[in-house]
Chain A
Amino acid sequence: DSGVTQTPKHLITATGQRVTLRCSPRSGDLSVYWYQQSLDQGLQFLIQYYNGEERAKGNILERFSAQQFPDLHSELNLSSLELGDSALYFCASSPGTILRETQYFGPGTRLLVL
């Protein structure tokens, strides 16, 4: 158990819908990262938050947004869902932002868009 929690574990929804994925980082970690893992694109970095502020953006679509709340949990919002958004979405956390910090991953949310 990495100490990072994600809910829900599975999500099935329809195209055009909106969903929210939730992540609680390990105790004491200030950085939260979101990754998408799909069969055709592999693992891709989406976005990072550090202590409530957006720190870095990767290949995140405009239909996707995220935030980190004062209690450091984070939510990833996916809207106008398309079939291609079906993927495993990971949240990871680390204490800060230094190079050698390990990112610990949550169990992931498996999203299926029908």
Chain B
Amino acid sequence: AQKITQTQPGMFVQEKEAVTLDCTYDTSDQSYGLFWYKQPSSGEMIFLIYQGSYDEQNATEGRYSLNFQKARKSANLVISASQLGDSAMYFCAMREPQMDSNYQLIWGAGTKLIIKP
């Protein structure tokens, strides 16, 4: 079964609009972490934002915020006031405890976001 599901393979958004990228996850652990990364066409993987399962507040980092709904197991990334430079692939990833107490990142398939001028 998919652990991380990103249901939007691609999205077109008008510049300056807000955009929400969906991510749902599946885990039976109470303690886990959710990450979002951005991968521009140049290929590098850039960390954007982190949400811990026990964090009381939704995470925010500049124009990025995370709409964390624990009961629904969703961790959607919201980008406010989108810019042309936001065009990229966006990956949601989860880190959960493994049997050997190590924490690997499990990745979604990604959403390709294109910002239109």
**Are B98 and A100 within 8 A (Cβ)?**
no
**Are A104 and B47 within 8 A (Cβ)?**
yes
Does B7 reach chain A (CB closer than 8 Å)?
no
Q: Is the interface of B mostly helix, strand, loop or mixed?
A: strand
**Are B31 and A99 within 8 A (Cβ)?**
yes
Chain A residues proximal to chain B, CB less than 8 Å? 2, 33, 35, 42-45, 48, 55-56, 58, 88, 90, 92, 97-108, 110
Chain B residues proximal to chain A, CB less than 8 Å? 31-33, 35, 37, 43-47, 50, 52, 91, 93, 95, 97-98, 100-107, 109-110
12 contacts between A and B (CB under 8 A): A2-B46, A42-B110, A43-B93, A45-B105, A48-B102, A88-B43, A99-B97, A100-B33, A105-B44, A108-B43, A108-B44, A110-B43
